[in-house]
Amino acid sequence: MKRLGCLVLALALLLCGCRQADGPTEMTVFAMDTVMDLKLWGPDAQQAAQKIQVLLQELEATWSVTDEDSLLSRLNRGQGTPDPRQQALLDLALEYKALTGGAFDPQLSAVADLWGFRSKAYAVPDAARIREALQTRQWDLGGILKGYAGNEAVSLLKALKIDRAILNLGGNVQTYGQKPDGSPWIIAIENPRGGQPVGQLAVSGTMAVVTSGNYQRYFEQDGKRYHHILDPETGYPAESGLASVTVVCSDAAKADALSTALFVMGLEEAAAFWRSHRDFQAVFVTLDGGIRVTADACFSGSPCEVIPYEN
Ligand code: AMP
Ligand code: MG
């Protein structure tokens, strides 16, 4: 009976999220094909966590590439009409395409399908079929949706006057508010080769820390790795010499779009992009394990080379 009681309690905590005495309210949500961890502090934290859970599930239902009934699938079949809010997200994605000179491209769904990144039936496609799929403009917001969700979650946290929060939206980390002791949030940067993190970033207040990497989704064929970040010019996984890019930015959708785009650009072009914009910070891990950090980023851990403000 005692064991049954414990089991019921454990299940209840798992399903409803839990609040430790004076500690944060925590909730784990599975959405957008990934695990998301929410940690919130404040009197209305439980309510806010539930609202964020609903938000994440709604965004997934609207923008899923695998659900045939989603708005995104219908748009890709030439059906359905986005409401003004949904249209604004599509427009935003196209704005980032323009800003990044096409490195971020939210209409590569047909190409990703060919590689099996949807069905998980992975295979290197025929070159002619890739060229054909590149002409088929089909929406895929996978490179920006979690960031957009981060921004929407921040609006909810503000509206509900949450003290502070840290949300891990499947590798997209969103911090919110200040820690009581004024110390920064510390976010670990994964090692693309596995094992211990390569280092950590310190960020203050409300900030998004987003990583795109060749280790997050990939398959191997004939000893070669094929990952999920596609070069819009070739339709093949981007071979830019990078293993991961982490972007820190106050706007999470921008951080997300840029992490994908900078990965495609490669180190030189990405460094030039940072110099001409300066509204984000970045950490690059190269394929040979080198670490390059923009001069404005607060990185510690493994030895790294700083990318200076002036070239
Ligand atoms: P991220 O993990 O944010 O870099 O996004 C990668 C996801 O975005 C992939 O799984 C695809 O759904 C999509 N994607 C792949 N290549 C690109 C690209 N060049 N631009 C925009 N989205 C992309
Ligand atoms: Mg992205």
**Ion ligand 2, residue ranges at CB < 5 A:** 143, 256, 259-260
Query: Do the beta carbons of residue 282 and residue 263 sit within 8 Å?
Result: no
Ligand 2 center to residue 62 CA distance, Å? 18
Total residues belonging to the chain: 311
pLDDT attached to residue 7:
39
User: Would the CB of 39 count as within 6 Å of ligand 1?
Assistant: no
d(CA 294, CA 290): 14
Tell me the pLDDT of the chain (311 aa) as tens digits.
334 443 333 444 444 455 555 689 999 999 999 999 999 999 999 999 999 999 999 999 999 999 999 999 999 999 999 999 999 999 999 999 999 999 999 999 999 999 999 899 999 999 999 999 999 999 999 999 999 999 999 999 999 999 999 999 998 999 999 988 999 999 999 999 999 999 999 999 999 999 999 999 999 999 999 999 999 999 999 999 999 999 999 999 999 999 999 999 999 999 999 999 999 999 999 999 999 999 999 999 999 999 999 98
10 Å CB burial of residue 76 (0-12, 13-18, 19+) is: buried
Nearest CA to ligand 1 atom 22: 143
Task: Choose among 151, 174, 288, 264: nearest CA to 212.
Answer: 264
pLDDT for the residue numbered 171: 85
Q: What is the 91 CA–ligand 1 centroid distance (Å)? A: 17
Residue 5's pLDDT is 41
Which residues have a Cβ under 8 Å from the Cβ of 129 and sit 6 or more positions away? 114
Looking at residue 156, its pLDDT comes to: 98
Contact criterion met (CB below 8 Å) for 209 and 187:
yes
Taking the C-alpha atoms of residue 203 and residue 180, their distance in angstroms, rounded to an integer, is: 14
Pairing outcome for strands 281-286 and 242-249: antiparallel
Mutate to test the pocket of ligand 1, among 73, 109, 140, 144 (most ligand atoms within 8 A of CB): 140
Ligand 1 pocket, 142 CB below 6 A?
Answer: yes
**125 and 110 Cβ atoms separated by less than 8 Å:** no
pTM: 0.93
Q: What token pair was written down for 199?
A: 């280092």
Rounded to the nearest angstrom, the distance between the alpha carbon of 193 and the centre of ligand 1 is: 20
User: Residue 19 has what pLDDT?
Assistant: 53
Structure tokens at 103: 């490195």
| 260 Cβ closer than 6 Å to some ligand 1 atom | yes
259 lines ligand 1 (CB under 6 A): yes
Whether 267 and 234 have beta carbons less than 8 Å apart is answered as: no
Ligand 1 pocket, mutate which of 32, 214, 260 (most atoms under 8 A from CB): 260
> DSSP secondary-structure letter at 108?
B
Instruction: Please state the atom number of ligand 1 nearest to the C-alpha of residue 260.
Output: 4
Q: Which residues pair with 221 in a beta bridge?
A: 224
Ligand nearest to the CA of 249: 2
Instruction: Give the distance (Å) from ligand 2 centre to CA of residue 261.
Output: 7
CA distances from 191 to 69, 84, 115, 170 (A): 37, 40, 25, 16
